[in-house]
Structure 1
Amino acid sequence: MKSYQSLQSKPTKILVIAMRYLGDVLLTTPLLHSLRQAYPDAQLDVLVFRNTASMLEGNPDINHIITTPNRPKFLDYRQLFGQLFRQYDLAVATQSGDRPFFYTLLAAPMRVAVVPPKNTTGWWKRFFVQRWTEFDDDNTHTVLQHLKLLDLINIPKCFSLVPPQIDKVPELVNRFPFLADNTGYAVLHPHPQWTYKQWTVAGWIEVGLYLKKLGLKLVLSGGPAQEEIDYVTNIQRQLPEDTINLAGQVSLAQLAYIIAQAKLYIGPDTGITHLAAATGIPVIALYGPTNPVKWAPWPAGYNKDINPFDKIGSRQLNNISLIQGKGDCVPCHLEGCDKHRQSRSQCLDTLSPERVEEAIRLALGK
């Protein structure tokens, strides 16, 4: 990474490109907030995939959200060309891929970007941007990777995540009366996008029953995909009758509000776990093949420019209790034991409910 002084003139229009999954988009919000604090009068726009824009709902740092399909067609490219072509003073690419790189070339004369390391495909991109930092997929947390871009333009760093926000709270409370009663509840999010990040159904049921014994109502969350709804419904059927199933019923911003009122959240390596971490409530995160250095939930109130978690080992830090599955290969950085996204991970299949229950007791002060 190069070191630079501040920009010679303050940009009036800034584009940040964040074209990955839901959790990745949320992890760019410290970068966005830092830019907003440094340039309070600038127009700050964000380019994301259409299916991730909801993670930025109500974000006060953003002026406009520009969306594009994951697999754009010719007409999509033509529309995006008109939206971007020389419309900005500064373009910031948070990924090293080809599309974010070309969009920065299209959008602005001043370009700051993450680029591939030397001796890898795409190393040449650094010659077409004014300021760059190399992508580190192993030893730098994603939040800190994004914030390195601020060093290139000499901007102070803000470390807090900004979850999506809603302004119609009374309507949500009327829809879900459990939000208004005095019974505390825990949110369980059992279904990640990929099988290799899943814990066991039996584990979720045992932990749910344990939380019920502690006097907490159970709330299950899940996305709108039918497979996910079916998975969560299967778990619900094996839990107490008053268990609430929100799978496919609420937006991300509504879910963020619901999680923020909970006593506890438990989830796997998925975007909703990052979302829960951003609300500040106690979070228990179940990790297996994934490298926690790079992808652990970012703890609320953690303002250090060093990785919050190590690669190996479980740890409690601020509101995050990270439980790592055991095994000599953990974390393997692979997509399950069979090395594809729909395979199982033995380190998660053998993670005992007792370890999660111990973390529950500590999180709740029991």
Structure 2
Amino acid sequence: MKTGEVRSILVVVTRQIGDVLLTTPLIAAAHERWPAARIDVLAFAGTGGMLHGNPAVSGVIEVPARLGWAGGWRLLKRLFRRYDLGLVAQPSDRAHLLALVAARVRSGLVPEEGGSNWWKKALLRHAVPIAGDRGEVHVVAEKMELLAPWVDPLPAPRVVPPAGGDLPADVQARLGPRPVVVHAPSMWAYKQWPLAQYRELVAGLLAAGHQVVLTGSGSARDQECVAALRDLGTAPALLDVSGRLDFTQVRTLLSRAALYIGPDTSVSHLAASVGVPVLAVFGPTNPQRWAPWPAQAQGDTRFARVVPIQQVGNVTLFQGSQDCVPCGRAGCDDHLHSRSECLESIPAQRVLQEALRRL
């Protein structure tokens, strides 16, 4: 396929919000290579907000995680052979099948081991093998490799945050010039740093005279986590904006912040992309694969597999010191509601000391 033949591109990234954000370096590189091409992104419903205002994205096609036969048929008819190039940024069977219907030439991620690999590789112009969560290559770098046949050398990846949105008037009025943003909730228990540690951290920041802004969604789990911290202070010293901001407004908040502290979650990836100093508390997850990608990363950006505290660019990452870290499992019992001893062992004072040093 010649450069001039690429007039339309479909990027398939049917996973979670953070995965969509971490696909933006691939999208930016494709736009730089084919500036006149239309680039659409196929994503799950509710995840496209991370692409708001992205200058390289022409359109976002959001689909339910469960399509059903009727919904699937309508989507296939909508996509059929509309695109010259399909970039499959997720290794799932469905992502590959959708790209097969939509684009005449495809480049895709394929697990190193998998029963469906044979047909995926047979249908791709370019296959990028991925090792999974115990591998050593960051997911951002893996996705960039999808362009290897057409872009040489590949540019340094840069995660593109969504455009900023206006904050609610009352939040704007109470927000200090350099707040510390603390995001306590994790979607799953096995990624949750204990709330007792968050309480000690927030109390220490407030005692040192720093304004703390609590973020989170309006979900029951997020609100339960934030509720455990609300009694530590009053506004404006402790400002709770959880459940009130969309991702464009969170991006604006982060651009005003002196520091961000949070777990292995999409908001931590967003904070890193904005450029604010980030303190990320990691548990079983492998940072070589999933650490927040630093803003303005240059050259070979690599995190160590396990170090109690490490810094790459504007990202400082904390881990437990157990021999099993990172296990790549869903906690000690390997299920979503499991505890993670490695997270429980990270003391609040270690994170607080680093936060105060930064501030």
What is the TM-score with the length of structure 1 in the denominator? 0.92
SS of equivalent to 1:109: strand
Moved segments of 4+, more than 6 Å: none
* Other-structure match for 2:52: 57
Alpha carbons 2:107, 2:147 under 8 Å: kept: no
- Residue of structure 2 in register with 1:165 after alignment: 163
Structure 2 residue aligned with 1:114: 109
User: Is 1:192–2:195 an aligned residue pair?
Assistant: no
Instruction: Structure 1 unaligned segments of length 5 or more: list them.
Output: 1-5
How far apart in 1 are the matches of 2:10 and 2:96? 12
Q: Please name the residue that 2:214 is paired with.
A: 220
Farther-moved stretch of structure 1 (23-32 vs 224-233): 224-233
2:81 aligned to 77, 83, 86, which one? 86
Which of 256, 279, 304 is residue 261 of structure 1 equivalent to? 256
Q: How many residues align?
A: 353
Q: CA deviation at 1:38?
A: 1.1
Q: How far is 1:173 from its partner?
A: 5.5
2:334 maps to 1:339: yes
Q: Which amino acid aligns with 2:159?
A: L
Q: 2:282 pairs with 276, 279, 287, which one? A: 287
CA distance in 2, matches of 1:186, 1:70: 35
Secondary structure, in 3 states, of the residue corresponding to 2:228? helix
Q: Cα RMSD over matched residues?
A: 1.6
Shift of 1:240: 4.3
1:250 aligns with 2:245: yes
CA distance in 1, matches of 2:94, 2:273: 28
What amino acid is the match of 1:160?
R
Q: Which runs of 5+ in 2 are unaligned?
A: none
Q: TM (normalized to structure 2)?
A: 0.94
Aligned equivalents of 1:360 and 1:73: distance in 2? 48
For 1:33 and 1:239, how far apart are their aligned partners in 2?
Answer: 42
Alpha-carbon distance in 2 for matches of 1:75, 1:33 = 33
C-alpha separation between the residues in 2 aligned to 1:7 and 1:191?
A: 47
Distance (whole Å) between structure 2 residues aligned to residue 177 and residue 254 of structure 1: 11
Secondary structure at 2:42 match in 1: strand
Residue equivalent to 2:351: 356
Deviation readout 1:101-133 (Å, 9 max, x if unpaired): 00111011111111122x522221101111111
Please say if residues 280 and 315 of structure 2, whose CA atoms lie closer than 8 Å, have aligned partners that are also in contact: yes
Distance 2:91 2:324 in 1: 28
The answer to whether the aligner puts 1:139 opposite 2:139 as a matched pair is: no
Residue range with higher mean Cα deviation, 268-277 or 129-138: 129-138
- The secondary structure found in structure 2 opposite 1:120 is coil
Corresponding residue for residue 43 of structure 2:
48
User: What is the distance in 2 between the residues matched to 1:200 and 1:180?
Assistant: 27
* Cα distance change on mapping 1:303 and 1:230 into 2, 3 Å: same
Paired residue type of 2:160: V
SS in 1 for 2:54: coil
Can you list the C-alpha shifts for 1:165-211, whole angstroms capped at 9, x where unaligned?
Answer: 13x53xx26241346644x2111000111100111111111111111
For 1:296 and 1:260, how far apart are their aligned partners in 2? 20
The structural deviation recorded for 1:81 is 1.2
Deviation at 1:307, TM superposition (A): 4.4
d(CA) in 2 for partners of 1:70, 1:188? 30
Decide whether the 8 Å contact of 1:53 with 1:67 is kept in 2.
Answer: yes
| Paired-residue identity, % | 34
1:81 partner letter: L
Letter in 1 for 2:201: V
